[in-house]
């Protein structure tokens, strides 16, 4: 035994344990699963945005080669139930029935109307062509304002308003009354398609009594509960596995029609079934993100000090409410005050039904929208009173000495240092030099104008305190569970309720355990994503895994250590209080006597010599329910060149300085920031799900829905400042969404800044070359 | 997604391919080259051919030949082979420049020169190049070969002058001689996306001025379009002394075009782009 | 049905296939070589990229019958007895993957890129990978990995 302590694992740029299988193609994606006798499901989907189904004839399809069964919605009407919405945000919310396959009426293009079950995927696809369905068209409902107007075609009985949710603090009328400066703006958060690289897939099987579902899901635990509730299969007879999952970004935080139907079909036919989505099917039917119209008003003093903020939001629910559809705008409701101080805040949100694919969580979920609106509006305020965008922020943000700070948004930010992050970002960016170049280009009337965009964002992470979720009427809690098992040989198994799909939990949790138990990083294995091996969990979304699940791992380790301390004390014939735990060993203070945790594990396994009454095991579980959210923040700066002749915007440099508290693995953190920034830029410049006037999605393929490639994006300069979170013992804040939340307004602020000499104050997202060009021509963008 | 069923034959000679094609008269038979446009269409079930005749392996349809007055590019030469061909780079660099911008490297390994031409997508990059360079397409017909000038080859959206039963063998790319410069200017929203507008430009320089220019436009109509009005104004435009005259000359670049509307641009924007990009293409070609 | 002979990762297969069978389904469903995933219908995403006779192709846009006689190298055939291919190692070292779904295609495309250009600049890497989409990494670390992989491949020669 050596007395030199090993290097702390937390904070180390460990290469990921997950990588080996991913870079060699030994991954277990759901579509890789092939089982004896397996059948393949293919769905026939509605070509109409809104129509009555007047006739369904599946008889010809049933006679096609290889076809085992064909089902229409009507065929399964008695057992398919209704897809769940777990977030009834108000008491009087309208939650329409949502059959997994349409019965009677279709309400968006892509809605499943029938399915074929066949012996291979080619034959299943062929038989779809033989299903005959007649539709009687109904008017498509596409525009939220029109949907709410008198006499609008109702998407569901009960009208197109799902709910109106309000929140406020302070006297907002007083704040706006006689305010010297009032800024009112309307921003449109375009509809986005999450586009995880792995399309959805599900495999369901049964032995006649129990059921196993493999799904490309972020939420195996939630899915198990919901599938049990929807199908009536008892929870203890149902196992859900999320094998390797190829990205989610919120899109796999869902209980989908295809999952429910695969389970029901395997139940009916007694054979394993698989469904794998094609990308064009996925663009139609993976829940979409964003799609809000935001009306934001700021009241400020003559020198730009904020008095109050009002937000009036229309949120497009699409045709149905899915798992957390109505809750998404609420996740932003508390963030429209951003990093700023003010006296009063008022927020109203109306959820609206349209005949489009339902919306739901997409990376950031509510917070990118909120951050965009306030960060864009702050630039407008700066412009209005004639100061630099950074200056308006300095005049209004919470100063580092003012934390903890209770915001007008109703939250208490525990820690932060906006000045430090901004100073660091400015130094990396070369702000003054770029401003000088901008001024020079303006003077020269250069055809390429330079714009500088600022985004000083914060967000709330660590979803979430269960009590808070309860007060918002969410159907579940926000705790997370972990179990830590000491194996006889001293190796450690961690069972986590988080469900990683790219985040690297196997690596990061190993680092936490290595430090807590003093075992080598390599000696830790992490089990996840299978309700049989990891029965308790709330899964992975909302930048919660480390902040909640990582803490559960840490706490479970502490319990294991305390159990081990009892055994070590017994073996060393001393009091547990005489032991200190360093370097993976319990040492008797003042003597050289020690027992390593591995020795203790083996002794516990043998159980020959344990304290009286001691159960022969060290394992422990812990469930962590945070008392508060965490609040990452940071400053992102974007320099963009706008070609005024073509309207093209090209990012020249991008600097992100994020404060996400303490860091477990800087490599993983940097990767999360990079990817987040890319997705935020994609919203600003490239991506939009477009429906035509009949409600047909025009962006059904990756040839039409433009996801940026390496060739379209610049390198990002990233750095960090650290103010630890006070709401958890690791001082961590969460990083999964920060980049996405911060970057979109940084980019659009830069474009508007570049175009400011033309009198342009807004360009709708995505800021396509055509829109920018039209704005310059003086037309509407 | 998954293609519907089809028959498949893979002839080894052009004559055999032609025979199969003639015998199939009346059936919906398609020639399969590299398949980089056709396969996505089949997978999305936007096309249901009864049979595919795979001509991608016919040796005589592959390769680049340096002839006295032209370069012959056989139809099944892949984009990658075209880009890397020393003959193409030296004798008709515009073809190499534009081909290097077709799709992405993996697609260029499979996609073919002739396949792109015969697909006749007005958003494709090569048809405009064919037009700008006055290529001549060589076609195998029932009664021997015939030649079709590029100007007559692109008939309508995804439609060429190829008759049923005819096979595109290749194209003759005239050698323009010394003094010419070339550029292909492609404007698109992401690197992978189709051109909103593209401009193929060939410019002859003579004592600091442009003496002759040829300009063809991608995605400005149902077929690639030659910008004759702008071409007529190019002779005499100085190359070095600012670009005021060039801008004036190319201001008519969009004349006679009928550009489409899609997610990325309406016609007026495309017409504007055609002018801006023509100026850039000519400028690049002239330096 | 057509009879084809294809060598995949060093093993020769003779199979009867429907002409419409996509190469990627042949690899995955017929041969069980599931290391190569499918990400789209339109050859945009590049997740299914393999080397066919030494050059990158998108195996979702090649028919199995078109691969008759070809030598296919997939991500699963890349590592040898000496361990990971330098490009695989570089992706691991530079944290160039998160969910890993694009990774097989990205690595195969990178190997192809470096074949043509043994010392690519950042810009050349970015444009060389334009046909491979990643939703997780923002590409920064992929670019770094390809440079590192290129250097190691160069050093190995």
Do the strands A112-118 and A39-45 form a parallel or antiparallel pair, or are they unpaired?
Answer: antiparallel
Residues from chain B that touch C42, judged by Cβ atoms under 8 A, are 40, 43-44
**Per-residue pLDDT at C45 exceeds 70:** yes
User: Tens of pLDDT along A468-494?
Assistant: 999 999 999 999 999 999 999 999 999
pLDDT at residue A4, rounded to an integer: 60
Q: How far apart are CA A567 and CA B19, in angstroms?
A: 87
| Domain end residue (candidates: C43, C77, C111) | C77
pLDDT at residue A464, rounded to an integer: 83
- CATH number, domain of C28, equals 3.10.20.30
At A629 the three-state DSSP class reads coil
Residue with tokens 């997409």: A362
pLDDT category, B169, cuts 50, 70, 90? very high
Q: Where are the alpha helices (DSSP H) in A190-253?
A: 220-231
Q: Does B240 touch chain A (CB under 8 A)?
A: no
Mutate which of C75, C95, C128 to disrupt the A interface (most A C-beta within 10 Å)? C95
pLDDT at residue A7, rounded to an integer: 83
pLDDT at residue A5, rounded to an integer: 64
Contact predicate C97/A22, CB 8 Å: yes
Q: Quick one: closest CA in A to C144, which residue?
A: A715
Work out the average pLDDT over A80-84.
97
Q: What part of B 61-80 touches A (C-beta under 8 Å)?
A: none
CA distances from A521 to A2, A506, A582, A726, C5 (A): 17, 10, 16, 26, 46
Contact predicate A298/A176, CB 8 Å: no
Q: What is the DSSP string of A267-298?
A: HHH-S-EEEE--HHHHHHHSPBEEEEEEEEEE
Q: How far apart are CA A253 and CA A737, in angstroms?
A: 15
Our CA-based measurement puts residue C43 at a distance from the nearest CA of chain A, in whole angstroms, of 9
Work out the average pLDDT over A745-765.
97
Q: Does B190 touch chain A (CB under 8 A)?
A: yes
Q: What residue ranges do the domains of chain B occupy?
A: 7-54, 59-174, 180-286
pLDDT at residue A780, rounded to an integer: 44
pLDDT at residue B13, rounded to an integer: 95
pLDDT at residue A1, rounded to an integer: 45
Q: How far apart are CA A35 and CA A203, in angstroms?
A: 9
Q: Does C39 touch chain A (CB under 8 A)?
A: yes
Burial of A20 (0-12, 13-18, 19+ CB in 10 A): middle
Our CA-based measurement puts residue A670 at a distance from the nearest CA of chain C, in whole angstroms, of 9
**Per-residue pLDDT at B27 exceeds 90:** no
pLDDT category, C81, cuts 50, 70, 90? confident
Q: Are residues C92 and C115 in the same domain?
A: yes
Domain count, chain C: 2
Mutate which of C66, C133, C143 to disrupt the B interface (most B C-beta within 10 Å)? C66
pLDDT at residue A299, rounded to an integer: 98
Report whether the peptide linkage leading into residue A108 is cis, meaning its omega lies within 30 degrees of zero.
no
Q: Which of A185, A91, A177, A22 is nearest to A762 (CA)?
A: A185
CATH T-level assignment (fold) for domain B59-174:
3.30.465
CATH of domain A33-138+197-247+252-285: 3.90.1170.50
User: Is the Cβ pair A674, C139 closer than 8 Å?
Assistant: yes
Planar angle of CA A663, A666, A667, nearest 5 degrees: 150
**Per-residue pLDDT at A701 exceeds 70:** yes
Q: How far apart are CA C73 and CA C94, in angstroms?
A: 24
User: Tens of pLDDT along A350-403?
Assistant: 999 999 999 999 999 999 999 999 999 999 999 999 999 999 999 999 999 999
User: Is the Cβ pair C19, B6 closer than 8 Å?
Assistant: yes
pLDDT at residue A112, rounded to an integer: 98
Q: Does C44 touch chain A (CB under 8 A)?
A: yes
Instruction: Kindly state the tokens that stand for B182.
Output: 């070339």
SS (H, E, C) C80-110: ECCECCHHHHHHHHCCCCCCCCCHHHHHHHH
Work out the average pLDDT over A97-105.
98
Residues from chain C that touch A196, judged by Cβ atoms under 8 A, are 99, 101, 135
Instruction: Kindly state the tokens that stand for B244.
Output: 């005021």
pLDDT at residue A463, rounded to an integer: 86
pLDDT at residue B113, rounded to an integer: 98
Report whether the peptide linkage leading into residue B59 is cis, meaning its omega lies within 30 degrees of zero.
no
Residue with tokens 């009112």: A184
**Phi, psi of A313, deg, nearest 5:** -120, 135
Q: Are residues C62 and C102 in the same domain?
A: no
Q: Are residues C33 and C58 in the same domain?
A: yes
Strand order of the β-sheet with B29-32 is B7-9, B51-54, B29-32
Instruction: Kindly state the tokens that stand for C23.
Output: 């190469």
User: Tens of pLDDT along C131-145?
Assistant: 999 999 999 999 999
Do the strands C11-17 and C49-52 form a parallel or antiparallel pair, or are they unpaired?
Answer: unpaired
Are A33-138+197-247+252-285 and A289-463+628-776 equal in CATH topology? no
Which tops the pLDDT comparison, A619 or A780?
A: A619
Q: Are residues C71 and C9 in the same domain?
A: yes
Work out the average pLDDT over A683-689.
98
CA distances from A651 to A456, A647, B129 (A): 18, 13, 30
User: Tens of pLDDT along A271-284?
Assistant: 999 999 999 999 99
Does the domain spanning A19-25+479-624 belong to CATH 3.30.365.10? yes
What residues contact residue C156 under an 8 Å CB cut-off, 6+ apart?
Answer: C86
Q: Which of B229, B101, B189, B55 is nearest to A704 (CA)?
A: B189
Our CA-based measurement puts residue A78 at a distance from the nearest CA of chain B, in whole angstroms, of 30
Q: Are residues C9 and C62 in the same domain?
A: yes
Burial A492-511 (b: 16+ CB within 10 A, else e): bbbbbbbbbbbbbbbbbbbb
Q: What part of C 77-106 touches A (C-beta under 8 Å)?
A: 78-79, 84, 88, 91-93, 95, 97-104
User: Tens of pLDDT along A412-469?
Assistant: 999 999 999 999 999 999 999 999 999 999 999 999 999 999 999 999 998 889 999 9
| Domain end residue (candidates: C25, C49, C77) | C77
Strands (E), C21-61: 49-52, 55-58
**Per-residue pLDDT at A637 exceeds 90:** yes
Chain B neighbours, 3+ Cβ pairs < 8 A: A, C
Q: H or E element: which one contains A190?
A: strand A181-192
User: Is the Cβ pair B1, A278 closer than 8 Å?
Assistant: yes
Q: How far apart are CA A752 and CA A763, in angstroms?
A: 7
User: Is the Cβ pair B269, A706 closer than 8 Å?
Assistant: no
Number of Cβ within a 10 Å radius of residue B164 = 11
CATH T-level assignment (fold) for domain B180-286:
Enolase-like; domain 1 (3.30.390)
Instruction: Kindly state the tokens that stand for A559.
Output: 């319990």
CATH architecture of A289-463+628-776: 2-Layer Sandwich (3.30)
Contact predicate B141/B166, CB 8 Å: yes
Strands (E), chain B: 7-9, 29-32, 51-54, 64-66, 70-74, 136-141, 144-149, 154-156, 159-160, 167-174, 180-187, 197-206, 209-218, 225-226
CA distances from A235 to A310, A316, B44, B95 (A): 45, 33, 39, 64
pLDDT at residue B260, rounded to an integer: 96
Number of Cβ within a 10 Å radius of residue A406 = 11
What are the beta bridge partners of residue A530?
Answer: A241
pLDDT at residue B196, rounded to an integer: 98
Q: How many CA atoms lie within 13 A of A214 on its CB side?
A: 19
Strand order of the β-sheet with A579-582 is A579-582, A585-588, A594-596
Q: What residue ranges do the domains of chain A occupy?
A: 19-25+479-624, 33-138+197-247+252-285, 289-463+628-776
pLDDT at residue A2, rounded to an integer: 47
Residue with tokens 């919310």: A93
Work out the average pLDDT over B152-157.
98
Local structure of residue A763 (DSSP, 8 states) = -
User: Tens of pLDDT along A769-781?
Assistant: 999 999 999 854 4
Strands (E), A244-359: 273-276, 289-300, 306-318, 344-353
Cβ-Cβ contacts under 8 Å between B and C: the total is: 88
pLDDT at residue A382, rounded to an integer: 98
With an 8 Å Cβ cutoff, the interface of chain C facing chain B consists of 2, 18-20, 22, 25, 41-44, 46, 49, 52, 55-58, 60-63, 65-66, 68, 109, 112-113, 127-128, 130-132
Sign of CA dihedral A561, A563, A568, A569: positive
pLDDT at residue A199, rounded to an integer: 98
User: Tens of pLDDT along B217-270?
Assistant: 999 999 999 999 999 999 999 987 566 899 999 999 999 999 999 999 999 999
At A570 the three-state DSSP class reads helix
Tell me the average pLDDT of chain C.
Answer: 97
ipTM: 0.98
Distance of CA A231 to the CA centre of its chain: 27
Q: Does A714 touch chain B (CB under 8 A)?
A: no
pLDDT category, B198, cuts 50, 70, 90? very high
Domain extent at residue C8:
2-77
Burial of C152 (0-12, 13-18, 19+ CB in 10 A): middle
Q: How far apart are CA B130 and CA B116, in angstroms?
A: 11
User: Is the Cβ pair A773, B276 closer than 8 Å?
Assistant: no
Work out the average pLDDT over B85-90.
98
Does the domain spanning B7-54 belong to CATH 3.30.43.10? yes
At C118 the three-state DSSP class reads coil
Distance of CA C1 to the CA centre of its chain: 27
Number of Cβ within a 10 Å radius of residue A145 = 10
Q: Which of A313, A393, A404 is nearest to A352 (CA)?
A: A313
- CATH number, domain of C122, equals 1.10.150.120
Length of chain B: 287
Residues from chain A that touch B266, judged by Cβ atoms under 8 A, are 770
Q: How far apart are CA A363 and CA A248, in angstroms?
A: 9
């Amino acid at each position: 035994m050596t007395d030199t302590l090993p290097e702390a694992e937390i904070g180390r740029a460990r290469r990921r344990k997950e990588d080996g299988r991913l870079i060699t193609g030994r991954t277990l994606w759901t579509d890789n699963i092939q089982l004896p006798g397996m059948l393949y499901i293919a769905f026939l989907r509605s070509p109409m945005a809104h129509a009555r189904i007047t006739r369904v004839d599946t008889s010809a399809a049933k006679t096609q080669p290889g076809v085992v069964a064909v089902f229409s919605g009507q065929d399964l009407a008695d057992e398919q139930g209704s897809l769940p919405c777990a977030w009834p945000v108000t008491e009087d919310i309208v939650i329409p029935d949502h059959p997994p396959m349409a019965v009677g009426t279709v309400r968006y293009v892509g809605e499943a109307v029938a399915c074929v079950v066949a012996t291979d995927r080619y034959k299943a696809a062929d038989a779809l062509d033989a299903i005959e369905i007649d539709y009687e068209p109904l008017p498509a409902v596409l525009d939220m304002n029109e949907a709410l107007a008198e006499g609008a075609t109702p998407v569901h009985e009960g009208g197109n308003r799902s709910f109106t949710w309000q929140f406020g603090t302070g006297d907002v009328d007083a704040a706006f009354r006689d305010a010297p400066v009032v800024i009112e703006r309307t921003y449109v958060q375009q509809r986005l398609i999450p586009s995880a690289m792995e399309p959805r897939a599900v495999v369901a099987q049964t032995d006649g009594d129990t059921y196993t579902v493999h799904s490309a899901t972020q939420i195996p635990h939630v899915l198990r509960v919901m599938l049990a509730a929807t199908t009536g299969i008892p929870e203890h007879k149902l196992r859900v596995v999320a094998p390797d999952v190829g990205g989610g970004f919120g899109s796999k935080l869902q209980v989908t029609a295809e999952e429910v139907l695969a389970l029901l079909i395997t139940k009916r036919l007694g054979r394993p079934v698989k469904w794998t989505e094609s990308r064009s099917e996925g663009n139609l039917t993976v829940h979409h993100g964003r799609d809000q119209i935001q009306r934001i008003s700021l009241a400020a003093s003559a020198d730009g000090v904020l008095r109050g903020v009002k937000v009036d939001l229309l949120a497009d629910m699409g045709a149905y409410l899915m798992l957390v559809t109505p809750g998404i705008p609420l996740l932003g409701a508390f963030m429209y005050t951003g990093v700023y101080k003010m006296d009063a805040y008022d927020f109203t949100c109306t959820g609206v039904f349209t005949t489009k694919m339902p919306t739901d969580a997409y990376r950031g979920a509510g917070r990118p929208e909120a951050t965009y609106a306030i960060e864009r509006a702050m630039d407008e305020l700066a412009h209005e009173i004639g100061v630099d965008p950074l200056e308006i922020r300095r005049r209004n943000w919470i100063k580092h000495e003012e934390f903890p700070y209770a915001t007008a948004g109703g939250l208490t930010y525990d820690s932060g240092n906006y000045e430090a992050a901004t100073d660091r970002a400015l130094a990396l960016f070369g702000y003054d030099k770029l401003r000088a170049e901008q001024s020079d280009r303006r003077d020269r009337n250069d055809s390429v104008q330079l714009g500088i965009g600022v985004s000083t964002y914060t967000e709330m992470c660590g979803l979430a305190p269960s009590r808070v979720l309860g007060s918002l009427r969410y159907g579940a809690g926000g705790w997370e569970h972990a179990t830590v098992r000491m194996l006889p040989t001293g190796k450690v198994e961690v069972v986590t309720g988080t469900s990683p799909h790219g985040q690297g939990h196997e690596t990061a949790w190993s680092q936490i355990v290595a430090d807590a138990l003093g075992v080598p990083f390599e000696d830790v294995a992490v089990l996840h994503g299978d309700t049989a091996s990891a029965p308790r969990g709330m899964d992975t979304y909302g930048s919660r895994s480390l902040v909640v699940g990582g803490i559960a791992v840490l706490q479970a380790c502490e319990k294991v250590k305390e159990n081990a301390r009892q055994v070590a004390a017994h073996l060393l014939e001393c009091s547990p209080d005489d032991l200190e735990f360093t370097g993976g060993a319990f040492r008797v203070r003042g003597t050289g006597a020690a027992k390593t945790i591995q020795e203790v594990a083996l002794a516990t396994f043998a159980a020959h010599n344990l304290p009286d009454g001691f159960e022969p095991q060290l394992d422990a579980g812990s469930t962590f329910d945070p008392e508060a959210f965490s609040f990452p923040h940071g400053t992102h700066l974007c320099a963009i060149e706008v070609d005024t002749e073509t309207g093209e915007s090209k990012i020249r440099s991008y600097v992100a300085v994020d404060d996400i508290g303490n860091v477990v693995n800087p490599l993983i953190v940097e990767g999360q920031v990079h990817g987040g920034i890319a997705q935020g830029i994609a919203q600003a410049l490239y991506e939009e799900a477009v429906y035509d006037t009949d409600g047909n999605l025009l962006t059904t393929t990756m040839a039409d829905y433009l996801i940026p490639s390496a060739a379209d994006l610049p390198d990002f300069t990233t750095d960090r400042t650290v103010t630890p979170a006070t709401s958890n013992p690791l001082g961590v804040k969460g990083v999964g969404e920060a980049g996405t939340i911060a970057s979109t307004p940084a980019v659009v602020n830069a474009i508007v800044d570049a175009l400011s000499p033309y009198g342009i104050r807004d360009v709708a997202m995505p800021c396509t070359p055509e829109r920018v060009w039209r704005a310059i021509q003086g037309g509407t963008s | 997604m998954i293609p519907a069923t089809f028959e498949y034959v893979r002839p080894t000679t052009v004559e055999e391919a032609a025979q199969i094609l003639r015998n199939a008269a009346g059936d919906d038979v398609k020639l399969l080259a590299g398949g980089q446009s056709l396969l996505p269409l089949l997978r999305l079930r936007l096309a249901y051919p009864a049979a595919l005749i795979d001509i991608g392996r016919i040796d005589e349809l592959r390769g680049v030949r340096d002839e006295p007055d032209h370069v012959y590019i056989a139809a099944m030469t892949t984009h990658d082979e075209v880009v890397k061909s020393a003959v193409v780079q030296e004798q008709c660099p515009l073809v190499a420049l534009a081909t290097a911008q077709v799709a992405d490297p993996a697609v260029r390994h499979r996609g073919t020169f002739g396949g792109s031409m015969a697909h006749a997508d007005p958003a494709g990059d090569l048809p405009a190049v064919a037009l700008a360079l006055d290529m001549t397409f060589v076609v195998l017909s029932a009664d021997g070969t015939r030649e079709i000038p590029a100007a007559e080859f692109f008939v309508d959206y995804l439609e060429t002058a190829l008759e049923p039963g005819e096979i595109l063998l290749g194209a003759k790319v005239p050698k323009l001689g010394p003094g010419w410069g070339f550029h292909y200017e492609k404007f698109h929203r992401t690197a992978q996306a189709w051109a909103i507008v593209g401009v193929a430009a060939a410019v002859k320089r003579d004592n600091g001025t442009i003496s002759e220019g040829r300009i063809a436009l991608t995605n400005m109509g149902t077929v690639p379009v030659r910008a004759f009005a702008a071409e007529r104004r190019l002779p005499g435009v100085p190359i070095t002394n600012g670009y005021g005259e060039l801008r004036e000359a190319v201001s008519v670049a969009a004349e006679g075009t009928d550009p489409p509307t899609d997610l990325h641009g309406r016609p007026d924007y495309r017409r504007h782009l055609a002018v801006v990009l023509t100026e850039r293409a000519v400028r690049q070609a002239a330096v | 049905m057509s009879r084809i002979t294809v060598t995949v990762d060093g093993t020769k297969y003779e199979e009867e296939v429907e002409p419409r069978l996509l190469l990627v389904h042949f690899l995955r469903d017929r041969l069980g070589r599931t290391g190569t995933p499918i990400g789209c219908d339109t050859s945009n995403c590049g997740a299914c990229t393999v080397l066919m006779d030494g050059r990158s192709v998108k195996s979702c846009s090649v028919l199995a019958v078109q691969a008759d006689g070809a030598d296919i190298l997939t991500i699963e055939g890349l590592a040898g007895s000496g361990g990971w291919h330098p490009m695989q190692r570089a992706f691991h070292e530079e944290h160039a993957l998160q969910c890993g779904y694009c990774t097989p295609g990205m690595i195969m495309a990178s190997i192809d890129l470096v074949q043509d250009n043994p010392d690519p600049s950042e810009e050349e890497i970015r444009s060389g990978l334009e046909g491979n989409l990643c939703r997780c990494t923002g590409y920064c670390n992929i670019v770094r990995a390809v440079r590192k992989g290129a250097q190691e491949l160069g050093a190995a020669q």
